[in-house]
Amino acid sequence: MAVENLVASAPCCVCSGLALIAGLAALGEGARQYMLVQKIKNTPTSKVRSAAVGLVELSGKAMPTVQGVSPVTKNPSVYWHVMAQYYHHKHDRHGHDQSEWVTFYSKTSTAKFYVEDDTGKMLIDPAGGEVRVKADFQFEGHLSDKAFFGL
């Protein structure tokens, strides 16, 4: 009888262990993101001439090294990030609704650009960096719409 109870509770222990590991990983990533945000918030804005090596915040005018355009709006752009998602709704095997946004296209510009202020200009290489910008264009529609990325 005791062996049957042990065997029956084994899948529950495995699931609990996996949930604990996932929770610790999420907690660690959240702490990393929080520390990065705090580091950025506490970084003073520098002039180009006096910018330190490493993490630095600059304020100035962005100037392209090569003229680029946004692939969606076709407007001149120094940096762009495009992400397309669809909303996926399904029922799991227990009859519960599950919905999520699924990314099916993501592309980011990698062209270097300058940031110029009244003391000079600095070359910025966004490749491999983590850039956070606010969206200035958003489109919602159906995958059958011809305006959707020109597809």
Residues 6-21 have pLDDT tens digits of 555 566 777 788 888 9
Beta strands in 21-110 (DSSP E): 45-46, 57-58, 61-64, 68-69, 76-77, 81-91, 97-108
In a shared domain, residues 151 and 97: yes
In a shared domain, residues 119 and 60: yes
Q: What is the pLDDT of residue 144?
A: 62
CA distance 116 to 47: 9
In a shared domain, residues 102 and 60: yes
Q: Which two tokens stand for residue 41?
A: 């918030």
In a shared domain, residues 24 and 60: no
In a shared domain, residues 66 and 28: no
Residue-wise pLDDT tens digits, 22-74: 888 888 888 988 887 787 777 788 899 988 887 788 889 989 999 889 888 88
- The count of structural domains within the chain is 2
In a shared domain, residues 5 and 49: no
In a shared domain, residues 36 and 82: no
Domain that holds residue 24: 1-42
In a shared domain, residues 33 and 51: no
In a shared domain, residues 34 and 63: no
In a shared domain, residues 78 and 116: yes
Name the strand (E) or helix (H) holding 113. Answer: strand 113-117
In a shared domain, residues 38 and 60: no
CA atoms within 13 A on the CB side of 110: 3
Q: What is the pLDDT of residue 8?
A: 55
Q: What is the pLDDT of residue 13?
A: 74
